[in-house]
Amino acid sequence: MEPHELTLAQALELLAKKEVSSVELTQALLARMEATEPSVNAYLTTTPELALEQAQAADQARAKGEAGPLCGVPAGLKDVLCTQGVRTTCGSKILENFVPPFDAFLVARLKQAGMVLLGKHNMDEFAMGSSTENSGFGPSHNPWDLDAIPGGSSGGTAASVAAGTSLFSVGTDTGGSIRQPASHCGVVGMKPTYGRVSRFGLVAFASSLDQAGPITRTVADAAAVLQVIAGHDPADSTSAPQPVPDYSAALGRGVKGLKLGVPAEFFVEGLDQEVEQSVKAAMAVLEQQGAELVPISLPHTDYALAAYYIIAPAEASSNLARYDGVKYGMSVRREEAGLLDMYLDSRSQGFGDEVIRRIMLGTYALSAGYYDAYYGKAGQVRTLIRRDFDQAFEQVDAIVGPVTPSPAFGLGQKVDDPLQMYLSDVFTLSTNLAGLPGMSVPCGFSAKGLPIGLQIIAPHFAEETILAVGAAYQEATDHHHKRPPL
């Protein structure tokens, strides 16, 4: 097995046995990046010198018996997470040269655990998108088919893990931005409960929805990364002061006796036949392992898309007001132009079309005379959606269904049709509105060889249940062992 094909667990085992050094592993992944990046474009910034320094330090720490839980493993991070001294662009021209003076909380945790940073991953600008085509620096490509999208907004992150240029990574999920690209790229992507992972240093898109989580090759690897990044952070007022369990202990629980809900609203007209067949086959595997499949209803699912596209743009409008060309980021100054001209020039030239579209939507929804009719009403619908899940979880332990309506579509296919693009997240964004944890696990392939994912959703802070279900499914199948022919 080549170094870039390793799982996180396999890499840690080889490092512990001293069968490979962190420097050797890092050099192998840097070589893999050099070979694949021209066609995949998963990275916006690479840090080879820093990575080799950190790898050398990791080897020294391991020799002294001071290895952290991720010591010496090379990985990249989504470029929405602040990294001290390393460029953080959020996929936007307006932050093209921004270098944060501090690390995000979870980045500091990963460094303490011994991660080796290879660079920052490509993404839809400010995490607004479902295909990575909204990046200010060109789209990422799906390693399974270079003419297909990798998903978004964590498209570069999922593509990197699939391509073997990161042995694990951390993305962010506002409406499906971890699970959807994980599904399209044939890897595991987990969105934890809102508040489980600190948002300090995560550049905000929609503050009540954003949550960071692991993208890995296996469920066991996701558990290991979540163990490091989860936990209370006093610097984040939305960080939950909940104890962090031993996630790896949940991996061997199995699904015997678990009730898994199957929402009628997730199997509707418009769902691709190949996706439906793969997901139902995955559910049958779980049933064979002792789980009980229970038909359920989430009656307000039809309203989730509309509610999301009022709440998320409204919060984005407020959060992105800080990019004014004054304090940091891109500043366009014309001679004899006034302050208002500077604001207009900096924002119109710095932001891409999709970000401008959402700022305008959000500003309108928050404007005088429309706040109650739009944002207020969307908040009420959000409450109804959360109640749907609460009632469902009175009957079942977890919910299973598709991640996306179809396998990855072609680059450029939906870029001029925002509504069709928004529908890509129709099965994922309701969990963000409700603050629930969810995961995508590879469960099959289309006739064209494109990956398909199974979504697993659980009650608040029940990540252990998701990990148990996902691990049991991977124990019985081999989809996660397959690698793209890149």
What domains can you pick out in the chain, each with its CATH number?
Answer: 3-253 (3.90.1300.10), 302-379 (no CATH)
Give every CB contact of residue 213 below 8 A, 6+ residues apart in sequence: 170, 171, 172, 173, 178, 189, 190, 191, 192, 197, 222, 226, 229
pLDDT of res. 283: 98
1 band by pLDDT with thresholds 50, 70 and 90: confident
Reference 433, options 376, 398, 385, 372; nearest CA is 385
Give the end-to-end CA distance of the chain in Å, rounded to a whole number.
15
From the candidates 21, 78, 278, 406, give the one annotated as an active-site residue: 78
Mean pLDDT of 326-344: 86
What pLDDT score was predicted for residue 328? 84
Residue (of 197, 153, 142) closest to 175 by Cα position: 153
Active site residue 153: yes
Condensed to tens digits (0 to 9), the pLDDT of residues 192-223 reads: 999 999 999 999 999 999 999 999 999 999 99
Would you mind telling me the total number of residues written for the chain in this entry?
486
Given a cut of 90, is residue 416 above it in pLDDT? no
| Global confidence as pTM | 0.97
Among 92, 166, 177, 440, the one annotated catalytic: 177
In 268-410, which ranges are E strands? 292-296, 398-402
pLDDT for 109 equals 98
Output the CA–CA distances (angstroms, integers) from residue 338 to 346, 350, 360, in the order listed. Answer: 12, 18, 23
Q: Supply the mean pLDDT for the chain.
A: 96
Report whether pLDDT(378) > 80.
yes
Q: What is residue 423's predicted lDDT score, i.e. its pLDDT?
A: 87
- What digits encode the pLDDT tens for the residues 70-124? 999 999 999 999 999 999 999 999 999 999 999 999 999 999 999 999 999 999 9
Per-residue confidence band for 145, with pLDDT thresholds at 50, 70 and 90 = very high
Catalytic, 177? Answer: yes
pLDDT for position 148 = 98
pLDDT at 425: 93
Of the residues 21, 130, 153, 317, only one is catalytic, namely 153
208 has catalytic annotation: no
**Mean pLDDT across 49-59:** 98
pLDDT band at 418 (very low <50, low <70, confident <90, very high): confident
Measured in degrees and rounded to the nearest 5, phi and psi for residue 15 equal -65, -40
pLDDT(336) > 80: no
